[in-house]
Structure 1
Amino acid sequence: MAEKHVLGISGGKDSAALAVFVRQNYPELEVEYFFTDTGKELPEVYEFLGRLEGFLGQPIAKLNPRRDFDFWLREYKHFLPSAQTRWCTRQLKLAPFEQWIKPMLAAGDTVTSYVAIRADEEYREGYTSKHENLKVRLPFREAGIDKKAVMDILESSGVGIPKYYDWRSRSGCTFCFFQQKIEWVRLKERHPDRFEEAKQYEKNALEHGSPFTWTQGEPLEELEKPARVIQIVNDFDRRKQRDLASRPINPLRPADKIDDIDDIYGDDEGNGACVVCHK
């Protein structure tokens, strides 16, 4: 029997910062880093994973599910995943992780999983262990690390943040249903082929009677119309200006210019995020 330490990388800033934090503060631990690959990730995610591997000095294990998104879409009768039915998280993220650690637990090993939930995220809960030998730790919460401290960790380490944060607020699949409307507009601008793929998935789902579209109450064919795009962009710009005007000036962080789309929209869109994907 042995003690194993595992840390999941989502492709986002928080999990990357946690990997850096654990590497710097617990150098004695032999941590195995893993990434559950849906096959539908943004190109920027893979570029960032390579950069993070360079800092860690070791590869990040890629956990590919035995069956891809298209397989599970057929299994779920072509119904799209949604906030109400998150089969993508369950089948493409959690199941591969559980399969990966299953031999460790079967051998009697104790497995500690490190999860990137920050100290300022009291509302979030991590992965719930289903095995007595699987322990879950939240180092950021233990150390009082908040969002701004996460940015400091990534900046000071030289890892930086993924390039998709220029236009998007979370990691995960290209067609994540937790995206906000401005992010769909930007996906069409940055990766039109991925937008078209999402549109085809949605069209197929609607033809099979799915009650869900990617963005609640508005098919992508309607969202991409020029007049609607202008409306979405203008609405986002107005909210952004209101958000910036209401922020207190922090002389210690004059260069803090990252657009946090979730902060700007609050709970009006998105309705949260999956535990595994968005970090």
Structure 2
Amino acid sequence: MREPPVKKILYWCGECNVPLIGKTCGCGAEGHPIPLLQPYDIRPALEHDRQILARLVRERYGTDSLPSVILLNKTGGIDRKDLVIANGGRFGWLSFDPGHRRYEFELVFDALPSMLPLITKNMLRLDQLKGAGEDVRNGKRIGGKKYPASGNITDGGVVVTWDGYAGVGVSTKGIVKVKEVGKVSPANVSDPGWEEVISRNRYHLKNLERNAIRFIRQQADHAQCVNISFSGGKDSTAVKELARRAGFEDTYFVDTGMEFPETLEFVRSLSIKTILHGKDFWREVNRHGPPRKDDRWCCEHLKLAPVKKWLAGKGECITIQGNRWYESFARAGLPPAVKNPYHPAQTNISPIRNWRALEVFLYIWWRQIPCNPLYEKGLERVGCWMCPAMLESEFEYVRSAHPDLYREWMAFLKEWFGKRGGASRSLETGAWRWKTLPPKMRGNDE
């Protein structure tokens, strides 16, 4: 399948110290490129993300001073793994270890110009790494090498400094692996907020809106039946506003019976008239077993079936949806308009298919549209509270905010796997989410 023209680069204005959704800033300056990692989606670090980062940076490096504008580029991993971007470059790695149920953070070399003056913990002198000083004096590289460290150094990220040079590394049981080194000059950078980001990207936001509205009208203006599929998430929130500006407001929401309470409250606040309901989840799950990433029977029974029933008799219909290329590899080839194979009379159109999460959030903030509060609480995506597509880092929110729901689901999983000889470890690490474990999860369910 041919790869869609996704944006693999983020541009950043060095003059204003803000990310750009185009190549140029509102100040007139050209942005410099920052290569992104697959699937190339970037999103703002919101309240919960910032709290985690501040805690980890404080615990590891002795400062909780962070830039106001931080972006997260999700990448592949056992669970959550984000490349953290700030101050015009790569800032660090944020990941979640599902086995130990904890977050970890590690600074990268590009963060040192702005962070070096602030770091007070786990900063080593070169002479604290046995043999490293001799290597430097002999003109040998130390990046990529391991050295025994003197002193009481805990496991995790470290910074090494000497004579105007600095580097980052990782300490494991008293051995430091130096990852990258170079000459570092402390940099004083401005600290704009998200209001400044929106202001400097206003021209590009207007273009995004104009193009999306034009696309909706081209596809739907002559249709007899047009509606908006609303999930309660950020993407359908943006699409609902775009559709309204294009002249369409008939919106439906499918309550699967497993929605987050916060999502249901948010939907009620919008006074959406058409609320559809699928089959009873608990009856179906006892029949089919837990939904898995590789067995999503739930979507057909709880979402597609009630929509098909509702649309029956309406004839040809256009549904405006919020699917995006960057959400997953499965959606990376999403065409502008496609017939629903489950209900061929329905054509789904995707006006923001080429938007990244950054564009979605900036648009929502620019237009001051109410948004689901779950994003501020650590969820990257919003759906059913026990969806197998959730990360274990997101399921931690269910555990803490909705313990009754968490206990109910874990009790079901324990009983289901217990009857079938499944490993209880798979419940703790999230391996239950697959029927056939992918390579990255093998060994985590034992």
TM class by smaller structure:
0.5 to 0.7
- What is the Cα deviation at residue 146 of structure 1? 3.2
**CA–CA distance in structure 1, aligned partners of residues 292 and 366 of structure 2:** 37
- Cα distance, 1:137 vs. partner? 1.2
| Residues 89/208 of structure 1: CA separation in 2 closer, same or farther (3 Å cut) | farther
Distance 1:210 1:19 in 2: 46
Which amino acid in the other structure matches residue 196 of structure 1? R
Q: 1:104–1:111: 8 Å Cα contact kept in structure 2?
A: yes
Confirm or deny that 1:147 pairs with 2:357.
yes
Offset at residue 35 of structure 1 (A): 1.0
Residue 254 of structure 1: aligned partner: none
1:119 positional shift: 5.8
Instruction: Give the Cα–Cα distance (whole angstroms) in 2 for the partners of residues 146 and 60 of structure 1.
Output: 29
- TM-score of the aligned structures, taking structure 1 as reference length: 0.65
- Secondary structure in structure 2 of the residue aligned to 1:103: coil
Secondary structure, counterpart of 2:225 in structure 1? strand
Secondary structure of the residue aligned to 1:139 is coil
Q: How does 1:233-244 map to 2 (within 5 A)?
A: none
For 2:404, give the aligned amino acid. D
Contact map agreement 1:12 1:171 (CA 8 A) in 2: yes
Q: After superposing the two structures, state which structure 1 stretch, 158-167 or 79-88, moved more.
A: 158-167
1:116 lines up with 2:322 in the alignment: yes
Question: Which of 269, 288, 295 matches 1:85?
Answer: 295
Deviation digits for residues 70-122 of structure 1 (CA, Å, limit 9, x no counterpart) = 1211332xx211011111111101111111111212xxxx2001121236556
2:417 corresponds in structure 1 to 206
Alignment RMSD = 2.9
Q: Whole-Å Cα distance in 1 between the matches of residues 313 and 423 of structure 2?
A: 37
Q: Whose helix proportion is higher, 1 or 2?
A: 1
Report the counterpart of residue 97 of structure 1 in structure 2.
307
Q: What's 1:47 paired with?
A: 265
For 2:427, the equivalent position in structure 1 comes to 219
3-state secondary structure, aligned to 1:3: coil
Asked if 1:20 is matched to 2:241, the reply is yes
Sort the Cα spacing of 1:124 and 1:94 in 2 relative to 1 into closer, same or farther, 3 A: farther
User: What SS class does the counterpart of residue 227 from structure 2 fall into?
Assistant: strand
SS in 2 for 1:199: helix
Shift of 1:9: 1.0
Q: CA deviation at 1:268?
A: 6.5
**Runs of at least 5 residues in structure 2 that lack an aligned partner in the other structure:** 1-222, 431-438, 442-446
Q: 2:78 maps to which residue? A: none
Kindly indicate whether residue 382 of structure 2 is the aligned counterpart of residue 161 of structure 1: no
Deviation of 1:211 (Å)? 5.9
* C-alpha contact (below 8 Å) 2:230/2:321 kept by paired residues: no
CA distance in 2: counterparts of 1:212 and 1:177, whole angstroms: 17
Bigger relative contact order, structure 1 or 2, given CA contacts below 8 A and separation 6+? 1
Is the aligned partner of 1:73 residue 2:281? no
String of CA shifts for 1:145-197, please: whole Å, max 9, x gaps: 43222112221333233111122121111111122121222221111111111
Which residues of structure 1 form unaligned runs of 5+? 224-266, 270-279
CA contact (8 A) 1:117 1:124 kept: no
TM-score (norm 2): 0.42
Supply the AA of the counterpart residue of 1:45.
T
CA contact (8 A) 1:45 1:162 kept: yes
1:75 is paired with a residue whose SS is helix
Tell me if structure 1 keeps the 8 A contact 2:254–2:303: yes
Residue of structure 1 in register with 2:405 after alignment: 194
Alignment correspondent of 2:100:
none
Instruction: Give the match's secondary structure for 1:197.
Output: helix
- Give the counterpart of 1:61 among 274, 284, 287: 274
Contact (CA 8 Å) 1:11, 1:45: kept in 2 or not?
yes
